[in-house]
Amino acid sequence: MRGFALLALGGAMGLAAPASAEEIVVKMAGSAYAPEVIEARMGDTLRFVNDDTIPHNVFVPTAGYAIDLGKQDPAAEATLVLRQAGAFEVECVFHDFMTAKVEVTP
């Protein structure tokens, strides 16, 4: 699990988000992430909500941030707690063109 210590699923590593952390909702609809560019801070949580009628996926291929939250059916949600500053891309493995860019500041 060492490779996933940088970004972790909410609570997966037993680390609580800072009190000032925010939750940022990222919607998946029309085969797109909204917003497509996300600015966040370390400790914030990204909550991915599938508002579409088809399944989507949250996959981060960027080295040092790699994680796969798996398939989200319509109405499903998944969370990702941001544990490291930097930039990474989120992709849907089902839709090549469906991407979002995330910039995390300290």
At 1-11, the pLDDT tens digits run: 233 333 343 33
Q: Can you give the pTM of this predicted structure?
A: 0.80
Interatomic CA distance for residues 49 and 4, integer angstroms? 22
CA-closest candidate to residue 57, choices 32, 96, 31, 92: 92
At 14-46, the pLDDT tens digits run: 345 455 889 999 999 999 999 999 999 999 999
Domain architecture of the chain: domains with CATH: 2-105 (2.60.40.420)
3-state secondary structure 49-99: EECCCCCEEEEECCCCCCEEEEEECCCCEEEEEECCCEEEEEEECCEEEEE
Bridge partners of 8, per DSSP, are: 81
Interatomic CA distance for residues 24 and 38, integer angstroms? 8
